[in-house]
Amino acid sequence: MDNLAEYEKFAATIGVTFKDVSLLREAFTHRSYLNEHRGTNMKHNERLEFLGDAVLELVITEYLYAKYPDEPEGKLTAYRSALVNTDSISLAASDWNMNEYLLLSRGEAKDVGRARSYILANTFEAVIGSIFLDQGYDCAKSFIGRSLFNRLDNIVGKRLWQDAKSRFQEEAQERTGITPNYEVLKETGPDHDKRFEVGVYIGSDLVSSGIGASKQDAEQVAAQSALDKKGWQEDDKK
């Protein structure tokens, strides 16, 4: 997979013609891969990720500023955070099948779930950095737009720019007039690896529960579960 022809194929998929396709290969090269391939003169993607992160933030900021001329700075910041968080951009990376082109160590290649999401999100930013260096700002902006702009209406419409706990509190107060409360139902595991199960209540009624490595994480999981259970994800007030 480290041959340049594969990355020319990926470049064609995203509609970008690279002058130096080795930059694109670099965007997919995780530091761990080079630890197992020390004889190569390849570079890992962390510098490109650093650059791409800045380009991504500028493009999204510019887009939000134009799209929502009447929104305050605080809300625009929340929109941007939701649009460029790890979950969002790792999904965008998956949409382009970036996982198929990653250069990873054998150990990293076995990781799935959250660890792979972080790698994909970082790779997505590195790809932006490689496009910016090779083709300039407008081309990078176009790629970001094709990858992310269509997610914004869903984020705003379902208020995904708020965390789950804030959304559930707002919905519960509006629909029931009651502020939810959270209680720890169970703690398991040793001190260095605890798991908390937290229940979210409306009044005395247990709506749902969630498990996390901290009480705060468990509250977020419980709140999201409660939103799903109640069907309070949509704009319409049932």
Q: Which of 125, 134, 171, 219 is catalytic?
A: 125
Count of domains forming the chain: 2
pTM check: above 0.85: no
9 shares its domain with 88 = yes
**73 noted as active-site residue:** no
Q: Has residue 237 been placed in a domain?
A: no
Tokens 């930059």 belong to: 23
Across 3-29, b (16+ Cβ under 10 Å) vs e yields eeebbeebbeeeebebeebbbbbbbbb
**Cβ(48)–Cβ(76) below 8 Å:** no
Provide the pLDDT for residue 112.
65
**53 noted as active-site residue:** yes
pLDDT tens per residue, range 86-134: 889 999 999 999 999 999 887 777 666 667 888 999 999 999 999 999 9
pLDDT tens per residue, range 135-180: 999 999 999 999 999 999 988 887 788 788 888 998 899 999 999 9
150 shares its domain with 171 = no
Q: Pick from 129, 157, 185: which residue ends a domain?
A: 157
Q: Has residue 195 been placed in a domain?
A: yes
Q: In which band, very low, low, confident or very high, does the pLDDT at 236 lie, cut at 50, 70 and 90?
A: very low
29 shares its domain with 141 = yes
Range of the domain at 50: 4-157
Q: Has residue 139 been placed in a domain?
A: yes
Q: Which of 53, 108, 171, 219 is catalytic?
A: 53
